[in-house]
Amino acid sequence: MTRRLAVIGGDAGGMSAAAQARRTDPSLEIVALEKSEWTSYSACGIPYVVSGVIDSIDELVARSPQEHRDRSRIDVRTRHEVEAIDVAAGRLDVRDHGHARTIQVPFDLLLLGMGARPIRPDVPGVDLPEVHGVQTLADAASLLRRAEASECRNVVVVGAGYIGLEMAEAFVIRGARVTVVERGAHVMRTLDMEMAAPIEAAMRRIGIDLRLGVDVTGFEPGTVHTSVGSLPADVIVLGLGVEPNADLAAAAGIELGVRGAVHVNRRQETSVAGVYAAGDCAESWHIVSQRPVHVALGTVANRQGRVAGTNLGGGYATFPGVVGTAITKVCSTEVARTGLTEHEATTAGFAFVSATIDSTTIAGYLPDAPAVTVKSLAERGSGRLLGAQIVGGQGAAKRIDVFATALHAGFTAQEVFDLDLSYAPPYSPLWDPITVSAKALLAVL
C-alpha cells in the first residue's frame, strides 16, 4: 500500500525534505501544500531585488512548483493553506484559496515546514499596508512596487539586524531617505557591542539616519511614532527578526521548544511519531553551547530538510547542528560571526577570555589593503575556541568559515594558531588575521 507524505510549506525546509524523501523512497506519494504561489525561493535575495541589483523576483525562485512536479513527482498545490492538523486521524484541513473551498488531506507521514514570520511590535497601526515584512515573495513584490514608486521618499526600517541593514542599504541605492530605528544601544545585536561601531559608521557614511536606543510606539499612514518623536515614512520595513510559524503545530498538540519553535530530535522528528519538522519553524542544536536554538537561515532549512526527508523516506540521518554562523554586508563593510558572542557565552555558563585584533585582509604593503578587525573568544582553562566575529573590508567576512570549521572540530586557540592557512600577498598578510587572532587569545589565556 502506498504511503502518503504530506508537506506543509513549499520553501526550503519543506521542499528539500520532499525532494530528499522522493530520492530515498521512489514509491512514496508526496503532496506539498503551500499557501502562496511560489516554492523554493531565496528570501535572502529580497534586498537585492528591492535595490534593483537583481532584475526580477523570478530569479529568486530556485525551483518552481512545476519543476518540483516534473523532477521529483511531488504533487505541489499552491494557494493551499493548512488550517488544522489532526495527528490522531492523520488528516489535514486545507483551505484551497483558488477554489474557495476547504478540503481534507489524509497523510501517513507529515513534514512541518511552515517557516517563520517577521516579528511585529505590539503597537498601534502595525497591520497597516505600509508596514512590510521581508519574508515571502509577496513581501518582495510589494516592497519592489514601493521602491519603484516615485513617491517613495522616506523609508523607516524598524530594527537593525541583518535584514534591517540589508533593506536599509537597498532603499539607499533606490535613492530614498532611510532612517533605521533600533531599540538597543547598537546595531547587530548578534555581535558584541564594540564590533558594531564600524558598521554604524559605514551606515552613516552612506547617509542612513541611525537612531539607537529608540522605541517605536506606533504607526500611522505616512508616519512612525517613536519614543523621541515622529518620523515621516512612505514605507516601513520590519527588521526585528523572525519567530517560528508553529501555531498549527501547537494547536495539534505537537511539543514546542526554544522560542516557540517546533521541538525536534536529531532526526528532525517531533514529539509525535511520523511527524517531522525542518527549517525556520523548527529548533536547531547548537554544537558549541550544547543547547537548542532557533536559527532561521536557508542553509539550515535545507540541511534539516534533507535529514528529515531521508528519515521520512525510510533512511537514517541526523542533523549534526549549527555553530551559529552568519554573514552580511553593509555597503563595503563585511560582517560575520560564528559560535558564541560574549553575551551568549556568559548565558551558556562559560568562563572565557576574548581578544580583538586589527589587521589587513591582504599584505599590508600592497596598495589600499583593506582593514579587518577580528574578535575571538576561548574558554578559560581548556583554551577551546568558543566564537569569533569579523568586521572589515573586502575579503574579511568569509574567513569566518575557518573559525566555524574550527568550532566543529572543537579546536583550541593553539590548534587554530597552528592551522596551515594559505598565504600569498594578494590574499593575506604573512600571518592571516585568523592566526593573529588565535595568537592574541593565547597571550591572554
DSSP 418-433: T------TTT--SS-H
* DSSP code, position 370: P
Q: Is 60 in the site for its own copies (CB under 8 A)?
A: yes
Determine, following the binding rule CB under 8 A, whether residue 266 of this chain makes contact with its own copies.
no
Say which DSSP state 53 is in. Answer: S
- Considering the rule CB under 8 A, would residue 297 count as an interface residue with its own copies? yes
Please count the CA atoms within 13 angstroms of the CA of 373 that sit on its side-chain side: 14
Sheet holding 385-392, edge to edge: 326-330, 333-339, 385-392, 371-379, 352-360
Q: Which residue in the block uniquely carries the three cell numbers 525556520?
A: 280
Torsion of CA 125, 127, 128, 134, to 10 degrees: 120
Q: How far is the CB of 42 from its own copies (least distance, A)?
A: 7
Beta-carbon-side half-sphere exposure of residue 8 (alpha carbons within 13 Å) = 33
Stretch that binds its own copies, among 37-45, 70-78, 138-146, 240-248 (CB under 8 A): 37-45
Nearer to its own copies, 39 or 328 (CB): 328
- Whether residue 284 contacts residue 405, with contact meaning beta carbons closer than 8 Å, is answered with no
Q: How far apart are CA 96 and CA 82, in angstroms?
A: 9
Q: How many beta carbons lie within 10 A of that of residue 255, not counting itself?
A: 12
Q: Which is nearer to its own copies, 60 or 176 (CB)?
A: 60
* 353 bridge partner residues: 378
String marking each residue 123-142 x if it binds its own copies according to CB under 8 A: --------------------
Minimum distance from residue 324 beta carbon to its own copies (Å)? 7
Secondary structure of the chain: what % helix, strand, coil (to 5)? 30, 30, 40
The 372-401 site mask, x for binding its own copies (CB under 8 A), equals -----------------------x-xxxxx
User: Is residue 52 part of the contact set for its own copies (CB under 8 A)?
Assistant: no
Q: Between 54 and 212, name the residue whose CB sits nearer to its own copies.
A: 54
Instruction: Check residue 223 for interaction with its own copies (CB under 8 A).
Output: no
Q: Does 348 bind its own copies (CB under 8 A)?
A: no
Judged by CB under 8 A, does residue 423 bind its own copies?
A: yes
CA distances from 313 to 1, 12, 228, 306 (A): 15, 18, 55, 10
Using rule CB under 8 A, residue 157 touches its own copies: no
Cell digits for 219?
Answer: 504607526
| Nearest to its own copies of 162, 352 (CB atom) | 162
Contact 180, 201 (CB under 8 A): no
**According to CB under 8 A, which one of 20, 39, 42, 310 is a site residue for its own copies?**
42
How many positions of this chain bind its own copies (CB under 8 A)?
62
Cell of 394: 573586502
Do residues 387 and 324 touch, judged by C-beta distance below 8 A? yes
Least distance between its own copies and beta carbon 218 (Å): 32
Active site residue 152: no
Minimum distance between the CB of residue 265 and its own copies, rounded to whole angstroms?
17
If one asks whether residue 38 binds its own copies (CB under 8 A), the answer comes out as no
Identified catalytic residue from 44, 152, 281, 331 = 44
Residue 406, interface with its own copies (CB under 8 A)?
A: yes
Restricted to residues 311-330, the positions that interact with its own copies (CB under 8 A) are 320-329
Q: Shortest CA distance to 326 belongs to which of 403, 251, 428? A: 403
Among 62, 141, 193, 371, binds its own copies (CB under 8 A): 62
Note the residues at the interface with its own copies (CB under 8 A): 42, 44-45, 48, 53-54, 59-60, 62, 162, 287, 297-300, 302-303, 320-329, 336, 338, 363, 365-367, 395, 397-402, 404-406, 408-409, 411, 415, 418-428, 430-432, 434
Query: Could you give the residue numbers annotated as active site?
Result: 44
